[in-house]
Structure 1
């Protein structure tokens, strides 16, 4: 496996220059500029508590009690989340990385995930590991790209998120090795099959792979990762079609953003409406929306930073509940606010009713199942993506620079 990993240059030779995205925020967004360093420090401290032996990270940290300060315990082991941690920690100081990783660095972590991803056979993990290998460690993981090419070229369905990660990985690594076919296949699937006329992206390509009740539904993740991938493609290759596709999706989710800054969860890709807003996930507020929309802006697209600041504000002030979302004592930001309901009941009902007729929602659900429940867990990728979103420097610009060098 490792003989198929070829390193040619450090990605951060260029990207490490300049200020991070917090410092680059408009002074008018003062509250976000003041809050974000505290949140990023919390992320580093939280990851330090989450780290497991041998460069592994858990699936989640579960709250022990019902109040802040009562502790959290790790559950499971998650490869995807471990890769996300490497991607985020890469933008912290070496001392911080070593304090989290028991003396190792983000490069060590990214490299350790390559073989695990290849053995997993899971397209999402493979794409993330290939992306992290290139961007974090400056190496080309050839076996991973061969696996991605196979996954993308078959007629079987693939999740839109995995497809977007494959495209981003191909762009990150193309100055290191041959990724043109993965780029071609992934961009074709996203632009021709996954995106609907509303600008929103479906959960699977092709859409009918999701079945009657889910074929029209795209979740928030299905929107942000294609925005990021297509914005980068548009910037690197001057691809106006890709940039317009990213712009259309971003404009729609921003238009649908809640009054208190909520980034909603499930969308109807046919008419661009909300299928079901809850749960509202904290990672969408502090990491995933910023990561995608800041990339879009740096690629020459619309500046949505005011919407991002509004979304961040939801973490501290929200209409759903007064219960804190942030627990510095436990080193976490609680995962989400959802409804008081049997698991996924309202989402399932909304998917079916909107499948029958776009925009049809059963009345009274907010009253019967109010969105007041805080999910007291926190997953490592949430902090990895936060650090990546806000502490990174010149990522999009570096991609074009590296491509020109090679």
Structure 2
């Protein structure tokens, strides 16, 4: 398949096209093994363990409704026969139907939002049921986690063509825009006080930026136009791109008050190959700024991994084609995530305080050998979505 996004990559940097196609092939080959027996649910994660002969073996662990919904959002861009190959004989719409039927037992706002989004995007006939469950779970009088609030807005934007969602959509849009503080272009971890302890209320993560900017861009693109929403998405995107690492890294923790980095690591593969691309592509296609260069820098990190390149003893590939996985992240390996904790407390008191010696003591030389279904689902969404 060739989409506008792959075509744009080929025009801008042809040398990266084989990498993008390699990752897409990996997603299709890897997702079927992440299905639980029966093909009706996805595992939470695939954990890698090394066998005595040095090879890697994968083991399914847990179960995740939201990862299943994200996978459906990505798989739906494949031709029907390939959807069925990934989803044990089902199309993305049919698989989404299983999630819709299970909605009465779903209690998480984020899970319900992703199922509604998948129902809208796959044209499922029971979209109205999904929207009703989403509305029932969305208590607008209380703060919500920003990621889940963003998924609500994306779901409602996706449903706009087939359902009357304007009132809840306006409320979801306003909730995201109001959540920002201090003139910062970045979004906090929660839309209001009460969900987080005081000492880390200022710390937000990369997902807290990509999902809101994507949702606001989609709200603008699917309606009559929303200049304020698009401007907020543009400002957020511009800031995270300005902060991107020299090796293309998308950093993990930010100070939502000041728009600075609190702690860069871990660097997650899904951010590099999927989450940043899908959000920034959606923004550009909605009429926002084009951050294609930053997307390409992030993608390149997947094979170059500067953190490991200078250390032959620890260097290993993050892309394992034969297993159908990308290893989850590169991280410091510090006990109890000490660097993040110390920097979170330090920046609470003194915004921008880096405590540079921590970078020398705890270097990012560890690899998390896991892969989760949503990582591959968003990868398909990122590169196969958009205009065909």
Q: Secondary structure at the match of 2:150?
A: helix
The CA RMSD over aligned residues, in Å, is: 1.9
Q: 2:365 maps to which residue?
A: 372
Residues 1:144 and 1:98: Cα distance change in structure 2 (over 3 Å)? closer
Q: 1:301 maps to which residue?
A: 288
CA displacement 1:122-165 (0-9 Å, x = unmatched): 00000000000010234453343234334444422201111111
Matches within 5 A, 1:51-200: 51-52=35-36, 53-65=38-50, 69-194=55-180, 197-200=183-186
Could you tell me which runs of 5 or more consecutive residues in structure 2 were left unpaired when the two chains were aligned.
309-314
Distance, in Å, in 2 between the alignment partners of 1:201 and 1:389 is 22
CA displacement 1:243-276 (0-9 Å, x = unmatched): 0000000000000000000000000011111000
Correspondent of 1:382 among 351, 375, 383: 375
- Runs (4 or more) in structure 1 with deviation over 6 Å come to none
After alignment, is 296-305 or 23-32 more displaced?
23-32
Q: CA deviation at 1:174?
A: 1.8
CA displacement 1:364-384 (0-9 Å, x = unmatched): 111211111000000000000
8 Å Cα contact 1:326/1:332 also seen in 2: yes
Could you tell me which runs of 5 or more consecutive residues in structure 1 were left unpaired when the two chains were aligned.
1-15, 396-406
Q: CA deviation at 1:207?
A: 3.9
Q: 1:31 maps to which residue?
A: 15
Distance, in Å, in 1 between the alignment partners of 2:321 and 2:370 is 13
Q: 1:237 maps to which residue?
A: 224
Residues 1:387 and 1:103: Cα distance change in structure 2 (over 3 Å)? same
Residues 1:118 and 1:343: Cα distance change in structure 2 (over 3 Å)? farther
Q: Secondary structure at the match of 2:8?
A: coil
Q: Secondary structure at the match of 1:102?
A: coil
Correspondent of 1:320 among 299, 307, 319: 307
- Give the TM-score normalised by structure 2: 0.93
CA displacement 1:23-52 (0-9 Å, x = unmatched): 233523112222111110001001022122
Q: Secondary structure at the match of 2:254?
A: strand
Correspondent of 2:3 among 19, 22, 26: 19
After alignment, is 79-88 or 175-184 more displaced?
175-184
Q: Secondary structure at the match of 2:307?
A: coil
Distance, in Å, in 1 between the alignment partners of 2:54 and 2:242 is 34
8 Å Cα contact 2:262/2:352 also seen in 1: yes
